[in-house]
Amino acid sequence: MTKQEQLQQILRELKQALPELRSVVVASVDGLPIVHDSSDAPRVAAMAATALGLGRRISQTTELGSLEETIVRGNHGYFVVYAAGEKGVLAVSAPAGANLGLIHLEAREFASRLARTL
């Protein structure tokens, strides 16, 4: 399998594990989409990289250690950005009422798989 195919496979498995997700975008830390199922991937990838970069800086400045995720919660749902190693970002969006604990549990695991593959 090529790297791209492996990443596609991880994306499919994540969607199976968390069917309530609205969309998933894997991007480089400089904001370019790598694999995704979003109709708005370029924009979401850039915003995910910005959220991660800013989150990392805040985490560092406020002595929280290395960043694990940044959460945006609106009244219609969540947008969560996970660090996937040094190179990657995993961004998922979920509707309001989604099980955030379960999302974290699965997404953190998938983020570390992505980190090893990227």
Partner 1 sequence: MEPLKVVVSGPVGSGKSTFVRTLSETAIVDTDAFASEPIGKDMTTVALDYGTLRLDGQLLYLFGTPGQQRFDFMWDILTEGALGMVLLVRGDRPQDFPQARRQLDYLLSRQAVPYVVGVTRQDKPPVWGPEEVALYLGQPSEYVVGLNATDPKSAVKPLLRLLELML
Residues with Cβ within 8 Å of residue 50, at least 6 apart in sequence = 31
In one-letter notation, the amino acid at residue 44 is V
d(CA 41, CA 77): 18
d(CA 20, CA 115): 23
Q: Which of 81, 98 has the CB closer to partner 1?
A: 81
Supply the minimum distance, in Å, between the C-beta of residue 39 and partner 1. Answer: 16
Contacts with partner 1, residue ranges (CB under 8 A): 28-32, 42-43, 45-47, 49-50, 52-54, 56-57, 61, 86-87
Supply the minimum distance, in Å, between the C-beta of residue 46 and partner 1. Answer: 4
Supply the minimum distance, in Å, between the C-beta of residue 74 and partner 1. Answer: 16
